[in-house]
Amino acid sequence: MELSRFEKGLKKLSEVDGHVGEHVIESLNDIAPDLGKYIIEFAFGDIYCRENLNLQEREIITLSSLLTLGGCENQLEVHINGALNVGITPQKIIEVFIQCIPYTGFPRVLNAVGVAKKIFKLRNLGVEKTIV
Amino acid sequence: MELSRFEKGLKKLSEVDGHVGEHVIESLNDIAPDLGKYIIEFAFGDIYCRENLNLQEREIITLSSLLTLGGCENQLEVHINGALNVGITPQKIIEVFIQCIPYTGFPRVLNAVGVAKKIFKLRNLGVEKTIV
Amino acid sequence: MELSRFEKGLKKLSEVDGHVGEHVIESLNDIAPDLGKYIIEFAFGDIYCRENLNLQEREIITLSSLLTLGGCENQLEVHINGALNVGITPQKIIEVFIQCIPYTGFPRVLNAVGVAKKIFKLRNLGVEKTIV
Amino acid sequence: MELSRFEKGLKKLSEVDGHVGEHVIESLNDIAPDLGKYIIEFAFGDIYCRENLNLQEREIITLSSLLTLGGCENQLEVHINGALNVGITPQKIIEVFIQCIPYTGFPRVLNAVGVAKKIFKLRNLGVEKTIV
Amino acid sequence: MELSRFEKGLKKLSEVDGHVGEHVIESLNDIAPDLGKYIIEFAFGDIYCRENLNLQEREIITLSSLLTLGGCENQLEVHINGALNVGITPQKIIEVFIQCIPYTGFPRVLNAVGVAKKIFKLRNLGVEKTIV
Amino acid sequence: MELSRFEKGLKKLSEVDGHVGEHVIESLNDIAPDLGKYIIEFAFGDIYCRENLNLQEREIITLSSLLTLGGCENQLEVHINGALNVGITPQKIIEVFIQCIPYTGFPRVLNAVGVAKKIFKLRNLGVEKTIV
């Protein structure tokens, strides 16, 4: 039997974000449950389940977009965790942020690195230091 | 006798924002009093006092614009309170935010809903749950 | 029989945007047909078909969000036409833009008014002049 | 002998952008030659020459960032061409844009797809149609 | 006799922008005359007439803000002309744009330089070339 | 002997930002040392060391750009301190923010003034009150 968009999205959400994503959805239950429903159905059920890009590529694109938007520190927190969950290394996450410098300037990159620093510490992860 | 722009604006400000708006203006007194004066005279005296849109419509437009800008959580706090003060229901405020999803994406909407959640709780307001 | 999300969205799209919206979708057919499908299903089928806001309110919110984003002149063109189609007067559309000045500054408002000017001329519509 | 940052950058620029990128630099010669120099040295010599991400990944991140910024249609033109030059398929480029929808909304994605449409036509490239 | 805000603003507007600014205001007459009135009264009468910054400093700040906003090419055109009118050299205008690179990235700076190039050519102005 | 870009940048950084800037760089050491290196080499070594604008002008442009971007409160904190360090008065900093109102609207200006208020208090600085 085919899964509904909601079921497909929920499965993809926990694949990517684990409990962190579920927590965001739960926090919407008493105020905007439809918003949580749309995130699961549309963002995760429709968009994340598409072909042509794998999950690591999707997280890299999402990180680049969130960094560039600005003011999305909470969402960066969810998706830096998501990126780690699907196997992207801490060093590669930092590299994604550095690639954005020519297009966004330093401030947005500094903010994104600040969020990563907090998460890497919580998850006890290090970044290999390499001065180019 | 005709009211000055400042007097008209101050009256409109307390009509919309009550004490919250006045608190913003007061907090500017020792650092940028002219900024407070311009907000009262121009934003509230000139713009909010115009015809062709009622106060509820002006708050809906303001909420849409602040959500879309991003990084305006403090101003959203003032104007979610303002929207409630002029009679917009909590459910309708959430609906305004949801209407923005196709144009801003989910992150800015999640941030705005987060501010609303805090305010609704402080004012002891609930949102009727309706899963579409 | 219940309409699918796509059918509901297509009906809503032509209610709001008439042929202009359909033209946008058609222009996507040979390059990103799924994008057109998502706009119909999600933006119009899911979001525009919700309760709690009428069509005029939804267009007002959309205009406010597009003006604030900036760089969305093509989408403003579609939705200024949409706003007129659902019965919002030219004068009220201009008033929506003016209400955004305190939050976005003048440049984005000037750009939006420029798009409106072109459309009002094409549709042979005037705005009652009233200097406040 | 080690290449200078400028030489490394120039080599990388033509690897990515071919003549299109060089044309941007040349157009700066009589007005802001240092800007062209910094783009070559910093963006291409320092950032694009780093390890940890391959060229395809760097172009995907750049496309995501430019789409999200908005108002960067000229730069999207350069980097959609760049993405094709380093072997990313038209279909994958469209997929990158679609992955951004949940974070930026539809307008910025529509604008980016519009630029891609023009370039794919000029380069006589098609996108396999697949309605999901 | 004291000048009204409108009179003060109109005088300042022609001091800064000459006929270009007046043209913007005139183009609003049949669609949003109040918008033109607010630009003259508030932007030029209130803000530009303040003390503590001279006209050259105000134009430099305005150029920096418009470049950073993005999608304001029309307004940059007005204010690059304004900057030249109040005695800022072409070379210094370019330098203002270059100072923004670390905060906005290259794309917005490239767009601003593109507008300047068009204006400098129309006004037959050159920039001294100096490769640092 | 000529200084390297890094040495030039480090010298300029402490001239502008004193210990605050160095603290930002240090905080990057264990997670993204290259980001700190690029800020020193490119932002301070290349851009801040250029001719045609003095340090006070560069800080004014930077403040205008950061205010306009939004979501850069941390960077505003560094550069408000920097502006004070290179001799810009508190009153003039506030005036820079006020000049941005017509281009960014009130919310971003309110946020920047909020950061300034905190810093002026920490450094025990007052702003002369002058209602225009």
pLDDT for C22:
81
Nearest CA in chain F to D43: F42
Question: E18 vs D49, E10, E81, CA distance in Å?
Answer: 47, 10, 9
Mean pLDDT value of segment A82-94: 97
pLDDT tens per residue across all 132 residues of chain D: 688 999 999 999 999 988 877 888 889 999 999 999 999 999 999 999 999 999 999 999 999 999 999 999 999 999 999 999 999 999 999 999 999 999 999 999 999 999 999 999 999 998 865 444
**Are F38 and F85 contained in the same domain?**
no
Tell me the C-alpha to C-alpha distance, in Å, between residue C62 and each of A93, C65, C88.
34, 5, 13
What's the full length of chain E, in residues?
132
Chain D closest CA to C28's CA: distance in Å? 8
The pLDDT mean for chain B works out to: 93
* Same domain flag for E58 and E34: no
Q: Could you tell me if A60 and A46 lie in one domain?
A: no
When pLDDT is averaged across residues B18-28 and rounded to a whole number, the result is 84
Torsion of CA C66, C69, C73, C78, to 10 degrees: -20
| E59 close to E94: Cβ distance less than 8 angstroms | no
Q: Is F131's pLDDT higher than 70?
A: no
Pair C62, C114 in one domain: yes
Distance CA A84, CA D124 (A): 39
Question: By residue range, what is the domain housing residue F83?
Answer: 54-132
* Burial class, D63, CB count within 10 angstroms (exposed 0-12 / middle 13-18 / buried 19+): buried
Q: For residue F119, what pLDDT band results from cuts at 50, 70 and 90?
A: very high
Is the same domain home to C59 and C21? Answer: no
Which pLDDT tens digit goes with each residue over E92-116?
999 999 999 999 999 999 999 999 9
Q: Tokens 């963002």, residue?
A: A43
* Tokens read off for F98: 């006020």
Q: What is the C-alpha to C-alpha distance for residues B68 and E106, in angstroms, rounded to an integer?
A: 24
pLDDT tens string A20-34: 778 888 899 999 999
Q: Using a CB-CB distance cutoff of 8 angstroms, which residues of chain F are in contact with residue B74?
A: 107, 110-111, 114
Are both F84 and F131 inside the same structural domain? yes
Nearest to B43 among F70, F106, F127 (CB): F106
pTM equals: 0.95
Alpha-carbon span A97 to A93, nearest angstrom: 7
Residue C80: Cβ-neighbour burial (10 angstroms; 0-12, 13-18, 19+): buried
List the Cα angle B77/B79/B81 in 5-degree steps.
70
Q: Which CATH number do you get for residue B126? A: 1.20.1290.10
Residue type, position B12, single letter: K
pLDDT at position E47 is: 98
Residue F108: list chain E partners with CB under 8 A.
none
CA separation for the pair A52, D130 (Å, rounded): 11
Using the 3D structure, point to which of F13, F28, F50 is the last residue of a domain. F50
Half-sphere exposure (Cβ direction) of C2: Cα atoms closer than 13 Å: 3
User: Measured between alpha carbons, how far is residue D6 from residues C54, D9, D28, D46 in Å?
Assistant: 58, 5, 16, 9
E123 & E95 share domain: yes
pLDDT of residue B60: 98
Question: Of A116 and F2, which is predicted with more confidence?
Answer: A116
My answer on whether E37 and E71 are in the same domain is no
User: Same domain for C83 and C28?
Assistant: no
- Residue in D129, D127, D53, D124 with CA at minimum distance from that of residue D86: D53
Kind plus residue range of the DSSP H or E element containing C46:
none
- Residue A130 predicted with pLDDT over 80: no
pLDDT band at C1 (very low <50, low <70, confident <90, very high): low
Q: Under a CB-based contact definition with an 8 Å cutoff, are residues D78 and D16 in contact?
A: no
Candidate from B116, B126, B131 with C-beta closest to A34: B131
> How sure is the predictor about B23, in pLDDT bands with cuts at 50, 70 and 90?
confident
Please tell me which residue of chain A has the smallest CA distance to F75: A107
Q: Which token pair is B64? A: 């849409």
The single residue listed with the structure tokens 């003048």 is C106
CA distances from F93 to B25, F15, F84 (A): 19, 18, 8
| pLDDT tens-digit readout, D101-115 | 999 999 999 999 999
Task: Annotate B48-88 with DSSP letters as a single string.
Answer: TT-SSS-HHHHHHHHHHHHHHH-S-HHHHHHHHHHHHHTT-
Residue spans of chain E under pLDDT 50: 130-132
pLDDT digits (tens, 9 = 90+) for F19-31: 877 888 889 999 9
**C65 and B91: CB-CB below 8 Å?**
no
Interface of F to E at Cβ within 8 Å reads 39, 42-43, 46-47, 50-53, 57-58, 60-62, 64-69, 72, 75, 91-92, 95-96, 98-104, 130, 132
Q: Is A105 left (phi over 0), alpha (psi -120 to 50) or beta?
A: left
Q: What is the domain count for chain B?
A: 2
Task: Say whether both C13 and C63 belong to one domain.
Answer: no
The residue among F110, F117, F120, F128 with the most chain B CBs within 10 A of its CB, best to mutate, is: F110
Burial of A19 (0-12, 13-18, 19+ CB in 10 A): exposed
Cα angle, residue D117 at apex, residues D114 and D121 outer, rounded to 5°: 150
Closest CA to C97 of C86, C83, B101: C83
All residues at 6 or more sequence positions from C99 whose CB lies less than 8 Å from its CB, including other chains: B47, B50, B53, B57, B58, B61, B62, C64
pLDDT in tens, A96-115: 999 999 999 999 999 999 99
The candidate with the shortest Cα–Cα distance to E104, out of F98, F47, D23, is: F47
Distance CA E121, CA C81 (A): 37
Residue E130 is predicted with a pLDDT of 46
Give, in degrees to the nearest 5, the angle at Cα F105 between F103 and F106.
Answer: 140
Considering only the C-alpha atoms of chain A, give the largest distance between any 2 of them, rounded to a whole number of Å: 53
The subunits that touch chain E, with at least 3 C-beta pairs less than 8 Å apart, are A, B, C, D, F
Q: How far is the C-alpha of C93 from the C-alpha of E32, rounded, in Å?
A: 10
Each residue's pLDDT tens digit, F68-100:
999 999 999 999 999 999 999 999 999 999 999
CA C83, CA F53: separation in Å to the nearest integer? 47
Give the model's pLDDT for residue C18: 81
Residue B44 has pLDDT above 60, yes or no: yes
**CA A33: distance to chain centroid?**
21
Per-residue pLDDT tens over the stretch C46-98: 999 999 999 999 999 999 999 999 999 999 999 999 999 999 999 999 999 99
Q: Distance between CA B71 and CA A108 in Å, rounded?
A: 12
Give the amino acid at C35. Answer: L
Contact between B2 and B32 (Cβ < 8 Å)? no
F68 close to F32: Cβ distance less than 8 angstroms: no
Pick from A69-73, B21-25, C10-14: least confident = B21-25
Together in a domain, E106 and E132? yes
Hey, which chains touch D, using 3+ CB pairs under 8 Å? A, B, C, E, F
Same domain flag for D25 and D70 = no
Question: Which is nearest to A15 in space by CA: A52, A35, A40, A51?
Answer: A40
Q: Which residues contact A31 (CB under 8 A, 6 or more apart)?
A: B94, B113, B116, B117, B120, B127
